[in-house]
A and B are shown apart, each in its own frame.
Chain A
Amino acid sequence: MSEQGDDGARPMAWVLGRLIESRWTLAAATVAVAVVAALPEPGWLVPALAIAGVAAVAIAAPRRMVVGRSREADRDGSDPLDGVGSRDLAAAVPDPMILFDAHGVIVHVNPAAVVAFGQLAPGMALHLRFRAPEMHALIEGVLADAATARAIDYVERVPLERVFRVTASAVGREDGLLALVFKDQSEARRIDRMRADFIANASHELRTPLASIAGFVETLRGPAKNDPSAREHFLKIMQDQTGRMARLIDDLLSLSRLEMKPYARTGTPLDVRGIVDAVVDSLGPLAAESGVTVERRMPDNPSWVSGDRDELFQVFENLLENAIKYGQSGGRVEVEIVPSATGARDGVQVRFRDYGPGIAEEHIPRITERFYRVDVESSRSRKGTGLGLAIVKHILTRHGGWLDVHSAVGSGSTFTAHFPPPTSAR
């Protein structure tokens, strides 16, 4: 093996190698010669026995060496793994993996599983956490007959839809340890669904502006053919409608893209102050145009949130844009970062307070639904697509956070984005 590579380069080593290779035959021959030489009267029997002995050693030795070598190879192969704990191995697996015993009790969960499924700890019954009928069938099946590995598709609907290919198999042979490995296939499933959803949503929402444009075209070709002022007016409306359709498609695409991204709560810790500052600056022109002053209240210390910078930017942008547009009559909007302190949910809150007309109580629970509009007319006139808060909600859910809305008619609204502490990957 490796010695052969050195053969040409080092003749001494080669000679030594050859000698070592035939060491048994050499030793046997030396013993035989010594025995024959030591005996005063060798006769014919002793040399014959000596030759037979040498021959026997020569036959036996290579086999022993082969065995010896293969043992050596074995030891070489497993050497790098000595000292590596099975926990380290499990931790290196990027997919969620759960080890359990013959009673269905969890023995070990790797970090990926904790990120994906949250509260999982050794000692918990697997049946209780994975309750779907097909998961029960899978676990029962592999507990009854550990020899055959099985696989199923497992779907978790809430809080975000995730699809896993789950494989159950035995680990090793005798200790009765079994493993569940989850392969996240949400992305493939979502691409399928995205097409259907996009068509359903888009066709429904695009129909209205399209119908209106078609109507104006008809009017322009017919009754308003020679009426310049009406033509100008209608063309303006048509332009607004096409702009609305374009924005709608942008928002739908952005929502679909978000839904396609894999679910990962871990991210780099970011200081939200920087992001909020950037958002306030980028919306400065809109605020000035609407006659709204934006007041910032930032803490002196960094407020850490783990997540994706672009997604968080979009959250704050949508919230501030809403506050400016719908709270325009109040004349000011307050943006505040609060390090929240509510028990186990220590984290950061970002508040957007406007002094506009407020939202009626019955609408508050519904405003994060897609295409839900408190007031269709005012939303359209302010260039809303009905998707802004749906996007906000989706991003916050992905970050393990949530949106809180407080509002009273006549006194304005407060939208609060809550984030868990950055260590929440646990």
Chain B
Amino acid sequence: MQSQHTMRAYDQELKFLATRIGAMGGHAERMVDEAVAALVHSDGSLAAKVIGDDELLDAGQREVDDKAIVIIAKRQPMAADLREIIGAIRISADLERVGDLGKNIAKRVGAIARERQPVSLFRGLQSLAELALTQLKEVLDAYASRSVEKIAFVRDRDDRIDAMYTSLFRELLTYMMEDPRNISACTHLLFCAKNIERIGDHATNIAETVYYIVTGEQMPPERSKEDKSHKVMLDARETAER
């Protein structure tokens, strides 16, 4: 009787961790979505809300950490349970970072919205954000369903995010060279694009953690970096031809 009761409490504790991760994931997805929406629509109040919401993710991560450490100390978990707990700690750290990156995008809204920017400037960023959000949703769904079949494709998508980022980088450089007045907005947008690209990386990290939780093995290392923005150079003549 006693052992059954203990087991049930243990299950409850594990379930609590997973539920907190779910809630943090929901907040992180929402923050990224709203930060990009605030950017595109120059919506200062939405940006302020996103900045405030980051507190929820910080609190969530602290809670998951505390709870996980208490469970490890009390229950001495093994095998799948231990992986589950360690995985929760890692995923919550990644989600907290995603929240920080979302907050950073929101913080730049004021600087970018100072002058009315053409819509075309944001289109690339929007589709980059869409890719990253799809990525995040897919890995969190994989965490929910504990299925690793789709996880291999997460890496494919990460490559696409990197390729898109490189392309966006080049586009923004072009705008800056065309007109120096674009430089301040474009520099902020460049950082926003970098943040979104980082969100994709965190989603890939989560995918690796989920793979580890489910299978007990590390995901095979095959990472070809598509991010070639470190090599992008535009030369003035090329721009003049456009």
A296 in the interface, Cβ–Cβ < 8 Å? Answer: no
| Nearest Cβ on chain B to A126's Cβ, whole angstroms | 9
- The interface-forming segment of B27-35, B107-115, B212-220 is B27-35
Q: A125-B15, A204-B119, A366-B124 are in contact. Are A131 and B23 (CB under 8 A)?
A: yes
B82 in the interface, Cβ–Cβ < 8 Å? Answer: no
**Quick one: which of B1-56 are within 8 Å of A by CB?**
15, 18-19, 21-23, 25-27, 29-30, 33
- The interface-forming segment of A12-20, A24-32, A114-122, A245-253 is A114-122
A118 touches B141 (CB 8 A): yes
A129 touches B167 (CB 8 A): no
**A128, B14: Cα distance in complex, Å:** 13
| Nearest Cβ on chain A to B207's Cβ, whole angstroms | 15
**Quick one: which of B183-213 are within 8 Å of A by CB?**
none
Contact among A127, A344, A369 with B23 in the assembled complex (CB-CB below 8 Å) = A127
B residues less than 8 Å from A121 (CB atoms): 145
A residues less than 8 Å from B15 (CB atoms): 103, 125
**A361, B227: Cα distance in complex, Å:** 12
- The interface-forming segment of B62-70, B71-79, B97-105, B129-137 is B129-137
A131 touches B167 (CB 8 A): no
| Nearest Cβ on chain B to A263's Cβ, whole angstroms | 15
Query: Which residue of A has the minimal Cβ distance to B137?
Result: A158
B22 touches A369 (CB 8 A): no
Contact among A103, A343, A365 with B163 in the assembled complex (CB-CB below 8 Å) = A365
A36 in the interface, Cβ–Cβ < 8 Å? Answer: no
| Nearest Cβ on chain A to B105's Cβ, whole angstroms | 16
**Which of A131, A157, A158, A159 is packed against the most chain B CB atoms within 10 Å?**
A131
A408 in the interface, Cβ–Cβ < 8 Å? Answer: no
B134 touches A370 (CB 8 A): no
A131 touches B164 (CB 8 A): no
A165 in the interface, Cβ–Cβ < 8 Å? Answer: no
B140 touches A128 (CB 8 A): yes
A131 touches B140 (CB 8 A): yes
Per-residue B-contact encoding for A282-326, CB less than 8 Å = 1, 0 else: 000000000000000000000000000000000000000000000
A136 in the interface, Cβ–Cβ < 8 Å? Answer: yes
A133 touches B164 (CB 8 A): no
B123 touches A128 (CB 8 A): no
A residues less than 8 Å from B171 (CB atoms): 366
| Nearest Cβ on chain B to A159's Cβ, whole angstroms | 6
Using C-beta atoms within 8 Å of the partner chain, give the interface range for chain B.
35 or more
A119 touches B141 (CB 8 A): yes
B145 touches A131 (CB 8 A): no
A125 touches B22 (CB 8 A): yes
**Quick one: which of A329-363 are within 8 Å of B by CB?**
343-344, 361-363
**A127, B26: Cα distance in complex, Å:** 9
A residues less than 8 Å from B144 (CB atoms): 119, 124-125, 128-129
**A361, B19: Cα distance in complex, Å:** 42
| Nearest Cβ on chain B to A415's Cβ, whole angstroms | 15
**A360, B30: Cα distance in complex, Å:** 34
| Nearest Cβ on chain B to A143's Cβ, whole angstroms | 11
Per-residue B-contact encoding for A194-217, CB less than 8 Å = 1, 0 else: 000000100010000000000000
Q: A159-B134, A200-B119, A365-B167 are in contact. Are A128 and B21 (CB under 8 A)?
A: yes
Per-residue B-contact encoding for A363-395, CB less than 8 Å = 1, 0 else: 111101111100000000000000000000000
B239 in the interface, Cβ–Cβ < 8 Å? Answer: no
A364 touches B163 (CB 8 A): yes
A366 touches B127 (CB 8 A): yes
Contact among B23, B147, B166, B168 with A119 in the assembled complex (CB-CB below 8 Å) = B147
A135 in the interface, Cβ–Cβ < 8 Å? Answer: yes
B residues less than 8 Å from A365 (CB atoms): 160, 163-164, 166-167
A residues less than 8 Å from B22 (CB atoms): 125, 127-129, 131, 136
B residues less than 8 Å from A370 (CB atoms): 123
B residues less than 8 Å from A125 (CB atoms): 15, 18-19, 22, 144
A369 touches B127 (CB 8 A): yes
B120 in the interface, Cβ–Cβ < 8 Å? Answer: yes
A104 in the interface, Cβ–Cβ < 8 Å? Answer: yes
Contact among A103, A136, A157 with B26 in the assembled complex (CB-CB below 8 Å) = A136
**Which of A104, A132, A136 is packed against the most chain B CB atoms within 10 Å?**
A132
A interface list, Cβ under 8 A from B: 103-104, 118-121, 124-125, 127-133, 135-136, 157-159, 200, 204, 343-344, 361-366, 368-372
Given A158-B130, A366-B127, 18 further pairs, Cβ under 8 A: A118-B141, A119-B147, A125-B15, A128-B22, A128-B143, A131-B22, A133-B26, A133-B27, A135-B26, A157-B33, A157-B130, A158-B133, A159-B134, A363-B167, A365-B167, A366-B164, A369-B123, A369-B124
Nearest first, the 10 A-B pairs at minimum CB distance are A131-B26, A128-B144, A365-B164, A127-B22, A128-B22, A119-B145, A158-B134, A365-B163, A129-B144, A362-B167
Query: Could you list some 17 contacts between A and B, CB below 8 A?
Result: A103-B15, A118-B141, A128-B18, A128-B19, A128-B22, A131-B23, A131-B26, A132-B30, A343-B152, A361-B163, A363-B167, A364-B163, A365-B160, A365-B164, A366-B127, A369-B123, A369-B124
